[in-house]
Amino acid sequence: DVKVTQSSRYLVKRTGEKVFLECVQDMDHENMFWYRQDPGLGLRLIYFSYDVKMKEKGDIPEGYSVSREKKERFSLILESASTNQTSMYLCASSLFGDGANSPLHFGNGTRLTVT
């Protein structure tokens, strides 16, 4: 079974702090994704990566950056955390980029609170 592990379940940070959210997958998947999930807004894609050192913007990249130095690890960075970034953050991975043949495998999320 694919395992996607997010380093923290809960995080509390102060406004203006630099925040790192880490995600590791153990199945040699090509693709990794960061979503945020908010009540009433659903899941929204922040960034994704099809390969090491490659990244693509999703629907809401503003205020975020990402890093993929190794295939199994995908980091989400909040350069200067703000209260409107309080949310549940979900990492996902998939074997291929073609969603018709490769569904997403999600981690259990990091609930980030910015005060």
Partner 1 sequence: SQKIEQNSEALNIQEGKTATLTCNYTNYSPAYLQWYRQDPGRGPVFLLLIRENEKEKRKERLKVTFDTTLKQSLFHITASQPADSATYLCALDHYGGSQGNLIFGKGTKLSVKP
CB of 16 to partner 1, least distance (A): 28
* Rounded-to-10 torsion of CA 25, 61, 40, 23: 20
Of residues 76 and 92, the one with the C-beta less far from partner 1: 92
3-state SS assignment for residue 59? coil
Pick 17 or 38: Cβ nearer partner 1: 38
Q: Which residues pair with 10 in a beta bridge?
A: 111
Q: Does 11 bind partner 1 (CB under 8 A)?
A: no
Going 24 to 25 to 28 to 31, the CA torsion angle's sign is negative
Contact of 74 with 23, CB cutoff 8 Å: yes
- Cβ contact 73:31 at 8 Å: no
Does residue 100 bind partner 1 (CB under 8 A)?
Answer: yes
86 versus 106: smaller Cβ distance to partner 1: 106
- Choices 13-21, 65-73, 76-84, 94-102 (CB under 8 A): range interacting with partner 1: 94-102
Residues engaged in binding partner 1 (CB under 8 A): 4, 31, 33, 40-43, 45, 48, 50, 56, 58, 90, 92, 94, 97-100, 102-109
